[in-house]
Structure 1
Amino acid sequence: MKKFFYRLFGFSLGPILGAVISFIQVPVLTYFLSVDEYGYAGAFQTLLLQLPNFIYIGIDQAYTREYHTSDDKRHLIQAALFIPMLVGLIIFAVFILFDGTISNYLFNSPDYTYIVWYSAIWILSAILERFILLSIRMEERAYEYSMYNLMLKIGVFALSMILIAIGMRDFRVIVYGLIFGQIVVDLYLFYKYRSLLNFKGFSVDKSLIRRMFWFGLPLMVATALQSALNSVDIMFLKQYSTVADQGVYSVGIRIAGVIGIIKTAFSSFWVPTAYRWYEEKKSMKHYKFISDAILLVLTFLFYCLLLFKKPVGWLVSTQDPGYLNVQYIFALLCFPHIMYTLSETTTLGIVFSRKTQYNIWVSVLTIIPSLLMNALLTPVWGYRGAALASTVAYIMFYLARTYFSSRTGFYFGQKLQLISIIIMTLAAILNAFDIAYIEWLTIGLGILTVLVQWPTIATSLDIRRQPDLWDFN
């Protein structure tokens, strides 16, 4: 158990410290940038960060599946990079050829073509970064993986602060911070792992590339739909609401990212651990306890954020009162992180069985309610409607992942999860409006949610008393 927590802590360290930096960055940016400027930057961030997910074609996940079966790691990573880099170069060319059109769509002006060019370079850098980080992660070098992710956050934050210090006060602060803050740190990563990127003597391994491609293709379709899902809210807000609403929504996403610490840390740790457990044939009770335990941690963080929603609202609205409304939606925006993290413990049957085609159905069943809810709610409720649509879509994402995984034979009881999700959803919806005594209602619902999960606490105590019956190493 000690080794388990040691690795978990190692993978968590970077995301936790990185989240602290991001949390500090939010009020600083909202102090210097108007809500409209944040809206432009938020739309750019959302759309740009989704692009690499299309480009990987699922081969990044195929790479992790093949990792422990390959003896030549350099050959494996170069084979895995082959198709994504080709696609990345095509996207690069598209960005250069249609720079004015893309600039006009993102910033309502054709004058920012140079940002489109910078973004094209960022995309190629992001592809290389992704596979090198996967290599570090699959070797379970937890602290190194964490420290690199922390360096990324520091790079973005430091550059943003430098731009503010020299007098920049528009959306370019966030855009340049994202692009160049990451590229600078990536250059260090590429130098350190230049041996993996040394293509001297490289030959196209058609058999390996084909195997990874067919494993990843269904994942690519699913990921494309998933990326579209993550962009639907912003697209509807751009179409039916104001730039100010986009700004409030974007800040809400950043604040909800506090609970995303657990998602990032846990997912980074869990994937290599789960694959190893599968090879070691761990019993299902181990997977179930991890799922129950992560739910308890997420529940605690969720209600803590809710109870501090007003101070957070005051903090980000010191200069522009428009940001104050963020307090109403960041609880709803926590659900994508919560549902994704929980589903990581229940979806394992899909990857273990290599039936990745199920992920397509998961994404289809997720994006349909997102489109319907956004069409119904966003034109009427603005940022509230978009946030509620995101909540509903990700609850469906969790349910669909769990169901299709169960069809492969990987399943454990979800009673605690389902009841807790219902109560937490109710709490988030109530907190989306200005209701009297909302703090007391929130505390009551929080206590009820913890009581529902009392069996998890009891199991934890049992593990402590009888550690020989449990092996989490």
Structure 2
Amino acid sequence: MTPRKIAAFAIGPIGGALLSLITLPIITWFFSQEDVGRMAMLQVTIGFSTLLFSLGLDQAYVREFHEVDDKPALLKRALLPGLSILFVTLLVLLSFGGTLAGWLFERPEWHLSLLIATVLLAAFISRFLSLVLRMNEQGLAFSMSQLLPKLVLLAIIAGYVLLGADTSLTNLVIANTAAFVFVCVVFAFNTRKEWIAGITATLDWQHLKLMLRFGLPLILGGVAYWGLTAIDKVFLRTLASFEELGVYSVAVSFAGAATILQSVFSTVWAPTVYKWASKGEGLENVHKVSRYILGLVVLVFCLAGLLSWIVTLFLPANYIAVQWILVACLGAPLLYTLSETTVVGIGISRRSSFAMLSALVAFAVNLVGNWLMIPRFGAAGAAVSTCISFWVFFVLRTEFSIYLWKPMPRLLLYGYSALTVAGASIFTLYGASIYPFMLAFWGLLLVAALFSFKAEVLEAVGFVAVRLRK
């Protein structure tokens, strides 16, 4: 993949993260805290239903794409089984009236259930159509399809405000539904040749069985990772309140800015490191990159700890707790990105079961952590539990990679990552009462990190200086 194509694919996640950073804070000014929390549950449900009903065939589609000649027929085999099961399931749930909305929102209203069903169908179809664009390396179309729904949601919210519309849960769900349907329509238009040809294609049952044999076992790992990233919201919905869930979802939204680093790095890193491995060289580069990312992770944690108060300038008064919760919420994207630099041994050795085991163990840790901490600390407990779980996830991926591949130095990796996780956890739980001490901690940690990564800092500064002169 050329740098130009990488940049085209990167526009989507970068722009999407930035627009999300704008959208949710705007929503907090016009919709109730409970309804913001209910939207978080909708997002969790979308992620889970897409993962579950895909039957692993989305990953089978990617695996088989370059192996088959009839791409439209492959799309039909991948999309049709899960779509059929999802459609029948939603019809059954809708026959019970507002049950679906009752489960998600504690508002058992049939029209809300219908909107939820529409979102789930649109998200599911979009998932598979997006793969067509990705596999055909249509990066710009893929990215624009990610950006446009965010813009549509912003436009609808702005329309509500300008027209003085009722800021009700129904209108908020309608806005989100419209955004998902819009992106589905855009994907359908951009891939129209593929899926139109797929409608009349013959369904090869034997090949479908092979795809299911490949894809179904991957669901367990996918559910484990989904649980690692989403179970905190489920526990908040069950053990706390929609208000706590609303505060938490806003903190996660701000922390989502760190997913820009995760998305861009993951896009570039995997192809690069496998290229090194194919040539039997580059191990020293893996160590070098892991040091750079570790230094960047520590820097972001420290700056967030020192400057998190800034977010309160953009939020209503009832979201003041976001400034404390935000720092622990950074753990998920930052530690995942760091683990991508150390997990390469699992990919190179093709022992994906170890990656699944890492996710399962971390998921179990998160289950226990949420169960113990949310009743006492609410949203703060959920943030800390997830942060610690991702540190466990990072350590396990690193150790399994070393076991399967080659050793790597990890004293700095574990030392600094443990310090940042411990600092973020204390800051989130008790920062309001010991704020001066936490400022001193983050300041000292920042100075120590700058000293430890002095060579990397000087090299990065020199690189930027050369680019600016050019």
The superposition leaves residues 219-242 of structure 1 with CA deviations (integer Å, 9 ceiling, x where unpaired) of 201212322333322232223323
Matched, 1:128 2:125: yes
State the 1:152 CA deviation.
2.7
The superposition leaves residues 25-70 of structure 1 with CA deviations (integer Å, 9 ceiling, x where unpaired) of 2332111123233222223323333321222233323333334444
3-state DSSP of counterpart to 1:331: helix
CA contact (8 A) 1:225 1:364 kept: yes
Matched, 1:366 2:362: yes
CA contact (8 A) 2:299 2:449 kept: no
Which residue of structure 2 lines up, in the alignment, with residue 227 of structure 1?
Answer: 226
Worse overlay, 260-269 or 239-248: 260-269
Matched, 1:327 2:332: no
CA contact (8 A) 2:132 2:191 kept: no
For 1:244, give the aligned amino acid.
E
Which residue of structure 2 lines up, in the alignment, with residue 389 of structure 1?
Answer: 385
Distance in 2, Cα, partners of 1:54 & 1:85: 11
3-state DSSP of counterpart to 1:110: coil
State the 1:444 CA deviation.
2.2
The superposition leaves residues 303-339 of structure 1 with CA deviations (integer Å, 9 ceiling, x where unpaired) of 333333112023212xxx2201111111111111112
Residue correspondence of structure 1 range 85-96 to structure 2 within 5 A: 85-96=83-94
Distance in 1, Cα, partners of 2:67 & 2:183: 30
Which residue of structure 1 lines up, in the alignment, with residue 116 of structure 2?
Answer: 119
CA contact (8 A) 1:138 1:272 kept: no
CA contact (8 A) 1:346 1:411 kept: no
State the 1:276 CA deviation.
6.1
Which of the residues 151, 154, 164 maps onto 2:151?
154
For 1:443, give the aligned amino acid.
G
Q: How large is the RMSD of aligned CA atoms in angstroms?
A: 3.1
Worse overlay, 333-342 or 225-234: 225-234
Worse overlay, 448-457 or 328-337: 448-457
Which residue of structure 2 lines up, in the alignment, with residue 97 of structure 1?
Answer: 95
Distance in 2, Cα, partners of 1:216 & 1:186: 24
CA contact (8 A) 1:81 1:131 kept: yes
Distance in 2, Cα, partners of 1:344 & 1:424: 18
The superposition leaves residues 422-450 of structure 1 with CA deviations (integer Å, 9 ceiling, x where unpaired) of 12213312422122323343232223234
Which residue of structure 2 lines up, in the alignment, with residue 468 of structure 1?
Answer: none
Worse overlay, 229-238 or 65-74: 65-74
TM-score between the two structures when normalised by the length of structure 2: 0.86
State the 1:280 CA deviation.
6.4
Label 1:398 to 1:172 Cα distance change in 2 as closer, same or farther (>3 A): farther
CA contact (8 A) 2:391 2:421 kept: no
Unaligned runs of at least 5 residues, structure 2: 465-470
Label 1:31 to 1:311 Cα distance change in 2 as closer, same or farther (>3 A): same
3-state DSSP of counterpart to 2:55: coil
Distance in 1, Cα, partners of 2:90 & 2:406: 41
For 2:158, give the aligned amino acid.
M
Which residue of structure 1 lines up, in the alignment, with residue 372 of structure 2?
Answer: 376
CA contact (8 A) 1:218 1:359 kept: no
State the 1:462 CA deviation.
11
State the 1:375 CA deviation.
1.8
Identity of aligned residues (%): 25
Label 1:54 to 1:451 Cα distance change in 2 as closer, same or farther (>3 A): farther
Distance in 2, Cα, partners of 1:213 & 1:459: 48
Matched, 1:337 2:364: no
The superposition leaves residues 401-424 of structure 1 with CA deviations (integer Å, 9 ceiling, x where unpaired) of 333444443664444432231122
Label 1:296 to 1:87 Cα distance change in 2 as closer, same or farther (>3 A): farther
Distance in 1, Cα, partners of 2:211 & 2:289: 29
For 2:51, give the aligned amino acid.
N
Which residue of structure 1 lines up, in the alignment, with residue 216 of structure 2?
Answer: 217
Residue correspondence of structure 1 range 5-404 to structure 2 within 5 A: 6-111=4-109, 113-166=110-163, 167-198=165-196, 199-271=198-270, 283-317=282-316, 321-404=317-400
Label 1:349 to 1:195 Cα distance change in 2 as closer, same or farther (>3 A): farther
Distance in 2, Cα, partners of 1:276 & 1:390: 33
State the 1:372 CA deviation.
1.3
Which of the residues 405, 409, 414 maps onto 1:418?
414
The superposition leaves residues 335-354 of structure 1 with CA deviations (integer Å, 9 ceiling, x where unpaired) of 11112223334444445555
TM-score between the two structures when normalised by the length of structure 1: 0.85
For 1:367, give the aligned amino acid.
F
Label 1:324 to 1:100 Cα distance change in 2 as closer, same or farther (>3 A): same
CA contact (8 A) 2:298 2:417 kept: no
The superposition leaves residues 227-262 of structure 1 with CA deviations (integer Å, 9 ceiling, x where unpaired) of 233332223222332332122111111111111222
3-state DSSP of counterpart to 2:98: helix
Distance in 2, Cα, partners of 1:99 & 1:10: 43
Which residue of structure 2 lines up, in the alignment, with residue 470 of structure 1?
Answer: none
3-state DSSP of counterpart to 1:202: coil
